[in-house]
Structure 1
Amino acid sequence: MNQNGLKLAYVLAVLNAVIIGFSFLFAKMALEHGQPVDTLMYRFAASFAAVSIPVMFGRVRLNYRGKPLYKILLLATMYPFGFFTLQTFGLQHATSSEGGILYAFTPIVTMLLAFVFLKESTTALQKLSIFLSVFGVAFIFIMKGSGIDLSNMTGFLLLFLSTLTFAGYSVLARSLLRTYTPMEISFLMLGIGFVTFLAISLTGHAASGTLDQLFAPLASGTFIVSILYLGVISSFVTALTANYVLSKIEASRMSVFSNLATVVSVAAGSIFLKEDITVYHIIGSILIIIGVMGTNYRGQNKIPKKAAAPGLQSDRAEAQ
């Protein structure tokens, strides 16, 4: 990989964190007008429409011939279906703060899975940096008076499983990018997500006799704007850029950027919702940023050649 390609990967990783950080605001606004499953359905309808436009006009060519499609199905089962389903139902039994704390552990789970399945190794500095970033997120939530209620095992288990599925997605996507392009993976992921949540939404409304309420949220301009952000920017753009980043840097490095979303959400809450920023917000944010920088300190991570995708071995050699 040339230096420009590596720099672009890191820029896109930061951009992903910024987009995800703002997505909490838009998700909160969307859920004021629609049910969780309906919101997910509209979100992935918008994202699939966005990814389909360049394909329909021939600007992007997809080629799945002779490629293992069952692995893409497994990937989509993890994300978006598994992650969002487990997270949605987990938050029905737990608080959003508990969800935020558990989601912060994604880089640690990703590091372990990447070591087992991709043979990605990490240095002592990187391990320390990952834990520092996770601690930064947990510190913010704990100082806010939040914590994890272990007596509520149902919500805890579902939220932990959502973290596990997202980590599994990062590792599997890293592996699949040896065969597929980022656009080919994104197209199938978002398409499967849309079809799945559409089926769930229609089934739920049909069973309860509320099909007439399916389109009710579309009467709100706020809902439409929120869905366009969540679908086009927070789903389509992040899926495409995340898959690109995973084709350039290791899964363990990529995953730690997700904790930057906490920093962005704190800043966004202060700017748009007039929420107070305290000393612990600043301390936690600094710990997260230092953790991300330490994890991605170039030239420190030595990956066995057998774990590298075709074309990625020489990329790493040039990058270091």
Structure 2
Amino acid sequence: MSYVKIYMLLTGIMITWGLNVSVLKIIVMNTEPVTITALRIFTASIIVILILFYLGLIRLPKKKELFYIFGGALLSVVFHHFFLAEGLTRTSGSNAGLILGMGPILTVILTMIFFRQKPTVIRLLGFLCGALGVSFTVMAGGGGIHSINLGDVDILLSILSQALSFILINQASKTMDPRLLTGYMMLIGSFILFAISFWKEPNGLSSLADTPPSMWGAFLFSAIFATALGHMSYNYAIGQVGAAEASIFLNLNTLFALVGSVIFLNEAILPSHFIGLILIVLGVLLGSGAMEMWILQSKNRRLPD
């Protein structure tokens, strides 16, 4: 697949993921959060496995691939979705969307740590802008510098877990199709989340009997389009262009999450949100290396033939 098609695919995923923040907010506020998350991930895993079976991509993993599967299941499924569900019950959809926008910067930082790459001055400036952006966002939701919203902390842990999983997925994609990896991770992760829900929410499954039909419509949108197709396609893109490059597009997730919060949740966008958005966008452009690439390309175009 060409880079243009990959970038178009990533943009479509970000629209779905951004709107999904508001959908998830509605779902977890009207159900037991861990139980519904486990059911959503399990449903998504079945859909992914059926698609892979149709494509003829199903195979048993090799021994050395089991580490990536279980590690990815814990980071990308259990920790990411657990903290996301818990965080959305305590903070606003707009705050969650902005903090999730830290994904690209965290991915690049972790890539540098694990692969021993030294950051440039421009990237360090990007990391600083991103941190300031999240700080403004947290203050908007927490009521000021002296008030910390625990829901925002959960969302930050959620995106940190996902960023760590991108490193594993990037490595695993050298021997295993990322789409197959996604199916295995979701299936295993959903069972772990079910186990957590039985302990944390013993009446979780029985409480779903009173869920209105409209809620199941939101559930199916999230499970099929955002979770199954979204994660399968995004992990495929990581295998094609790399973790750091694919993570740049997560910034669009932030934008569409804010739009969704206004449309579906009737949330007010505060000045601190705009400041946070600008700083996070700037942080992504600088910290991901996109700005350095643009400067280099501009210099090359000016050179005489």
Map 1:161-240; keep pairs closer than 5 Å. 161-203=157-199, 208=202, 210=203, 213-217=206-210, 219-240=211-232
Map 1:15-94; keep pairs closer than 5 Å. 15-57=12-54, 59-65=56-62, 67-89=64-86
Contact 1:129–1:292 at 8 Å: present in 2 too? yes
Equivalent position amino acid for 1:178 in 2: K
Residue in 2 that maps onto 1:297: 290
Query: Partners of 2:36 and 2:114 in 1: how far apart?
Result: 34
CA RMSD of aligned residues (A): 3.6
Moved more, 283-292 or 7-16: 283-292
Q: Percent same amino acid at aligned positions?
A: 24
Residue in 2 that maps onto 1:308: none
Equivalent position amino acid for 1:176 in 2: A
SS state of the match for residue 237, structure 1?
Answer: helix
Residue in 1 that maps onto 2:235: 243
TM-score by structure 2 length? 0.77
Sort the Cα spacing of 1:145 and 1:300 in 2 relative to 1 into closer, same or farther, 3 A. Answer: same
Contact 1:173–1:243 at 8 Å: present in 2 too? yes
Query: Partners of 1:54 and 1:104 in 2: how far apart?
Result: 29
Please list the CA deviations of residues 117-141 of structure 1 after superposition, one character each: whole Å capped at 9, or x if unmatched.
2345554444434544554454455
Please list the CA deviations of residues 256-292 of structure 1 after superposition, one character each: whole Å capped at 9, or x if unmatched.
4333322112222333444455666555545544554
Query: Partners of 1:240 and 1:127 in 2: how far apart?
Result: 31
Contact 1:270–1:276 at 8 Å: present in 2 too? yes
Contact 2:138–2:152 at 8 Å: present in 1 too? no
Residue in 1 that maps onto 2:4: 7
Query: Partners of 1:13 and 1:107 in 2: how far apart?
Result: 13
Residue in 1 that maps onto 2:255: 263
Sort the Cα spacing of 1:53 and 1:132 in 2 relative to 1 into closer, same or farther, 3 A. Answer: same
User: Which runs of no fewer than 5 residues in structure 2 stay unpaired?
Assistant: 295-305
**1:26 deviation in Å?**
1.0
Contact 1:38–1:214 at 8 Å: present in 2 too? no
**1:36 deviation in Å?**
0.4
**1:196 deviation in Å?**
1.8
Query: Partners of 1:259 and 1:147 in 2: how far apart?
Result: 25
Query: Partners of 2:174 and 2:145 in 1: how far apart?
Result: 38
Matched length: 292
Query: Partners of 2:136 and 2:200 in 1: how far apart?
Result: 39
**1:83 deviation in Å?**
1.9
Please list the CA deviations of residues 178-212 of structure 1 after superposition, one character each: whole Å capped at 9, or x if unmatched.
1111211111111112222233334556xx5x477
Residue in 1 that maps onto 2:297: none
Equivalent position amino acid for 2:262 in 1: S
Contact 1:174–1:250 at 8 Å: present in 2 too? yes
SS state of the match for residue 262, structure 1?
Answer: helix
Query: Partners of 2:258 and 2:214 in 1: how far apart?
Result: 22
Q: 1 or 2, which has the higher helix percentage?
A: 2
Query: Partners of 1:170 and 1:65 in 2: how far apart?
Result: 20
Contact 1:104–1:138 at 8 Å: present in 2 too? no
User: Which runs of no fewer than 5 residues in structure 1 stay unpaired?
Assistant: 302-320
**1:241 deviation in Å?**
1.9
Please list the CA deviations of residues 10-45 of structure 1 after superposition, one character each: whole Å capped at 9, or x if unmatched.
333333322221112211221243110121022112
